Chains A and B, each alone.
Chain A
């Protein structure tokens, strides 16, 4: 194993560059160094102008997502030793988002989509505090727990060619969050979220590429959530037809 590794970073400086171009940095190689720590090394020792995001260093905050050799991954959860044999790796900002600067993607669109699905527990009527908490059995928790592990890192959006083609698609994490609340026994908001799921930008945009679930660092399996959303949307459609046939209003 050689004692240094070449890290090529796609740099983009707005106002200066027309498009991102790669810049090479040589970083001392050690087996326990993460890609994020390598970026910190570059910034501290080689080039203070490099821009990238991070916070927790432990796969919790979801801010350090970048394309590492063409795959969306968390910088803090990926180690240089994986690339030691090749002696180089390439970094660029997350695909499918506009690049703000260097490795920083503008994830505004993703944040908007998260809001669209009302990712909070909706109650038809608020209970007074005196009635105590909303309780849930372990089995009820189990139904949605996996989908509540999402850290909003956006890797699944960088993995989704449908979002890349048209970013009005609500996308994997937002649709997962919709299912997460729809499956929550304390929530009354499913009917309200159905409109977003059924819409043009909703679940039916998904063509089951499935790469989102492969790259998710938290094993959320957004592809499962989106496609269960299709099942829910189909049932909703059938029920609405039935209601219309009976002369009622659809919901």
Chain B
């Protein structure tokens, strides 16, 4: 008997079929808001080089509701990105004698402390640098 294997093509919608794939794609999609956020920051730096007025205008423009929503989304994406990434760390970093769970916890604690330090430094230095004025 001749063979006639059936090949199902991979459709564009493959990732909709399974919750595991949807979670994966959501994780990957977090890169988009982070990319846009990086662009926003770079724009800010550029405006800064153009003088105080340009920089203040840039800051004011970011007060628009659309940009506030965007920043909320970007923070959420950033947290999700970090959380899912740390979830995967024990698969990459295998240290004999230390459980994957401990490695994960260590990363979570380090990320929290690191973020708190950066945030603290920013909050302290902002008024010192003269705030938005």
A positions within 8 Å CB-CB of B: 12, 14-15, 17, 19-20, 70-71, 95-96, 98-100, 106, 139, 143, 159, 161, 164-165, 207-211, 213-214, 221, 223-224, 227-228, 230-231
Contact = CB atoms under 8 A, between A and B. Distances in A.
B: contact size bracket:
20 to 34
Given A210-B24, A214-B20, A99 B91 contact: no
Given A15-B1, A161-B21, A227 B92 contact: yes
Given A14-B3, A210-B20, 14 more contacts: A14-B1, A14-B4, A15-B4, A19-B6, A20-B6, A70-B17, A98-B5, A99-B5, A100-B3, A106-B5, A209-B24, A224-B90, A227-B92, A228-B91
B2 A15 contact: yes
B6 A227 contact: no
Nearest to A165: B10
B18 A14 contact: no
Q: Which 5 A-B pairs have the closest CB atoms?
A: A98-B5, A14-B4, A224-B91, A211-B20, A99-B6
B10 A211 contact: no
Interface string B7-23: 11010001101101100
Contacts of A14: 1-6
A124 B92 CA distance: 29
Given A161-B15, A211-B24, A214-B20, A100 B92 contact: no
Given A95-B8, A210-B20, A224-B91, A164 B3 contact: no
Nearest to B89: A227
B21 A208 contact: no
Contacts of A223: 91
7 contacts: A14-B4, A19-B6, A95-B8, A99-B6, A161-B15, A224-B90, A228-B94
Nearest to B4: A14
Contacts of B88: 208, 210, 227
Interface string B82-93: 000000101110
A44 to B, nearest CB: 23
B3 to A, nearest CB: 6
Contacts of A213: 91
A206 to B, nearest CB: 11
Contacts of B1: 14-15
Contact of A211 (B7, B18, B91): B18
B80 to A, nearest CB: 15
A17 B4 CA distance: 10
Contacts of B90: 224
